[in-house]
Amino acid sequence: MAATRTFSIIKPDATRRNLTGAVTKMLEEAGLRVVASKRIRMSREQAEGFYGVHRERPFFKDLVAFMTSGPVVVQVLEGEDAVARNRQVMGATNPENADEGTIRKVHAESIEANTVHGSDSDENAQIEIDYFFKPEEIVG
Ligand code: ATP
Ligand code: MG
């Protein structure tokens, strides 16, 4: 199967605890390659747009506040079946339900401060990559 791409965010709870290297190592050990990466501070508008599908959810306001509370690292990851592979190594949204050895089981603080984001489909991966990266920033 050919390599595909997914989009990842290392969230503010991880940057605050100096875990960007530890998280990236787990992604790489899962067979994913970081083909683009940058550390940014998301604006409120950017976070609201990114999480637009959750706009009506009760946790939306808190989620936007959390995602803008500190720097994040946005990444494009490449590998065989990248979306599923990344979701697997991330673990369940709620770290209490995450499998042993997953990023969220090892590092997440709570269901909100859960260390990483990963796209949930190839279609959304492309939309999310385009939201944060210009083509020339993805260098392989
Ligand atoms: P992500 O989209 O960040 O990869 P996910 O796909 O596992 O995570 P979603 O259902 O898309 O989970 O929720 C997006 C994010 O919103 C979660 O990662 C988490 O930070 C936050 N979130 C989800 N559910 C809750 C909740 N019940 N309470 C607080 N925050 C939540
Ligand atoms: Mg999601």
Secondary structure, 3-state, 123-136: HHHHHHHHHHCCHH
Pocket of ligand 1 (CB under 6 A): 59, 63, 93, 111-112, 114, 117-118, 120
8 Å CB contact between 125 and 119:
yes
For the segment 85-114, the average pLDDT, to the nearest whole number, is 98
8 Å CB contact between 67 and 44:
no
For the segment 32-49, the average pLDDT, to the nearest whole number, is 98
The pLDDT tens digits for 71-84 are 999 999 999 999 99
Output the CA 134–ligand 2 centroid distance in Å.
22
Measured by CA distance, the residue closest to atom 13 of ligand 1 is: 93
**Phi, psi of 71, deg, nearest 5:** -65, 155
**What per-residue confidence (pLDDT) applies to 1?**
67
> Is 54 known to be catalytic?
no
2 — pLDDT class (breaks 50, 70, 90): confident
Contacts of 73 (CB under 8 A, 6+ apart): 9, 10, 15, 20, 24, 37, 38, 39, 40
pLDDT at 124 over 80: yes
Which residue of 53, 93, 111 sits with most ligand 1 atoms within 8 Å of its CB, as the best mutation to test the pocket? 93
As a whole number of angstroms, the distance between CA 129 and CA 138 comes to: 10
Mean pLDDT of the chain: 98
**What per-residue confidence (pLDDT) applies to 10?**
99
Q: How far is CA 38 from CA 34, 42, 116, in A?
A: 11, 12, 14
Proportion of the chain in helix, strand, coil states, percent, rounded to 5: 45, 20, 35
For the segment 97-123, the average pLDDT, to the nearest whole number, is 98
Catalytic residue among 117, 125, 132, 133: 117
Output the CA 134–ligand 1 centroid distance in Å.
26
**Phi, psi of 43, deg, nearest 5:** -80, 165
